[in-house]
Every structure is written in C-alpha cells, then in structure tokens.
Homo-oligomer: A and B are copies of this chain.
Amino acid sequence: MEIAKTLGKYIPPVEQRIMEWIDGAAVAETLHKSMRYSMEAGGKRMRPSLLLATIESLGGNIDKGLDAAAAIEMVHTYSLIHDDLPSMDNDSLRRGKPTNHVVFGEATAILAGDALLTLAFQAIAHSTTLTNQQKVHLIGDLSSHAGSKGMVGGQMLDMEGEKQSLPLEKLQQVHELKTGKLLTFSIVAGAKIAEASEDTIKKLENFSYHLGIAFQIKDDILDVEGLEEVIGKSVGKDQSTEKSTYPSLLTLQGAKQKLQFHIRQAAELLEDYSGDNQVLLQLVEWVEKRDR
C-alpha cells in the first residue's frame, strides 16, 4: 500500500534516534536489554510517523521532530509493556513475539515501562533541535495526553469496562482516551514543531479525533475478521472476554458504517488544509483499508 512506503521512510531515522536515547540511558544491563527488546519489537511506528508526516506536510524540517517522535513511540511502547502484564491484559504475545514480562519477568517489565516513560520526557527536554517554548508545550501536551486524563485514564476505564457491557458513548470515551489522545498528540505536536497557525492546529485536532475513532473501529473489525498470522496477536480475544466492541454494540455492518462516517469526516477536514494534504489523505485511506 502507498502509505507504507510513504510513512516507511520515517521509520529508520526515528528508530535510530530511539536507540541513541536508550543506549545513552543504560546503567543496569538487564533493564537496558528489556527496554531495547520492546522498542525493537517493531510495530507500525504510526505515531512518530504521523508526527513527522505532519511536519513535512506543513513544509517543516523533520529533523526538528525526531526527538518528539522518539518520545511518543517510547510512551506508546511503555503503555504496551504495562498493558500486557499479567495483572492487566495478561498477554503473552505482542507483534508476534513474547511480551516483555514473559522474557524478562514482571518486575523488569514494570521498570522498563517506567524507564521508557521517563526517557520520553528527557528526550524532549534534552533535544537540541527544539526551542524551550516548544519543549514546554510538547511536554505539557504529552503528559496531559498520556496521563490519568488521557491514555492511562483510558486504560483504567477499559479494564473496568471489561467486567460489564458498555454503552457506545462510554466505549467511545475509552478509546478516545486510551488511543485517541496519543494520536492527537502526534499530529498536533508535528504542527506545533512546524509552527503552524492556531487555525491549522485546531483543524488537525478535529481531524485526529475522527482518525482515532476510525482506527479503533477498524481494530475491532479486524479482531472479528482478521487472521491471527496476519495481525500477529490473538484474534477473537475481545469476544472471548465479552468486552464491548463496536461490532458487538452496532453489529459488524453497523461498525463498518460508522467507520465510513469518521473516515469521511477526517477526509473532509483535509480539503482546505493549509499544507500538502497528500500524506494525511493516504493515511486516512490506510486506516480504512488496512488488514493488520
């Protein structure tokens, strides 16, 4: 797919920057290995790629965004390590590989997550390419989007929701917090690094909102329709735990219609985009059509 090639070019410089930060923060050998293990486990690198693509779409220099891009992927990866823990989602497989605690034990996995979260803020604070004002904005945004009013709050509500059937509104809140907030951060951070206007930032926030919901609906659909060997994690897990999903609340057909609605909203918001909207449009198409 076109977008894989487009976004793919951002992956090597981001991965290199991530590893530079991790290697620079090494003291305890096993902890260092554990941090590298989960960061090297791959994944789509969607958040950092989105951040850099947004910078580029607005004519900015992607080198300025590499530390923030590294930071957002560290935050995402820490959240996966902690979410996979036995007391949380208890997942033993992630991206086709054993999860961090399976390899290194629970204690090390908890600490590796803690260390990656902490390093994310360090990477921004110690960046040599951002102004102090940008750093303060990015750290303020990242912390509020990743914390108890954002991703961590969403994970909490998600865990509580597993024990009961959630209404659609609540399900949407869970996803907006758990995954939407970091997506929005990625895109808005890119815009701020590229020094976009307030108006463009507002529009991109709105765009991210719809893209995030669409992404999650697609995830739920893939959980019903996807093949285990393609998506690299256990399929049908949501059904087996009686967790509310878009298909379970809306039927598969209804979920697909809702996906289309948010895809259209996102695409429309790009129509009078002040930059080059090509990459973001490809991204919308990818969210709609991806098979993993």
Contacts and interface: CB of A to CB of B under 8 A. Distances in A.
Contacts of A140: 122, 125-126
B156 A30 contact: yes
Q: Chain A contact residues (Cβ within 8 angstroms of B): what range? A: 35 or more
A1 interface: no
A227 interface: no
Interface string A146-172: 111100110111011000000000000
Nearest to A137: B125
A226 B139 CA distance: 42
Nearest to A122: B143
A6 interface: no
Interface string A109-128: 01101110111011011100
Given A88-B107, A140-B125, A155-B111, A148 B117 contact: no
Contacts of A28: 148, 153, 156-157, 160
Contacts of A82: 110-111, 114
B111 A85 contact: no
B110 A149 contact: no
Given A125-B139, A143-B125, A118 B148 contact: yes
A71 to B, nearest CB: 10
A249 interface: no
A110 B111 contact: no
A235 to B, nearest CB: 23
A24 B108 CA distance: 31
A153 to B, nearest CB: 4
Interface of A: 25-28, 30-32, 35, 78, 82, 85, 87-88, 105-108, 110-111, 113-115, 117-119, 121-122, 124-126, 132-133, 135-136, 139-140, 142-144, 146-149, 152-153, 155-157, 159-160, 177
Given A88-B107, A107-B159, A119-B147, 7 more contacts: A25-B147, A31-B156, A82-B111, A108-B159, A125-B140, A125-B143, A135-B136
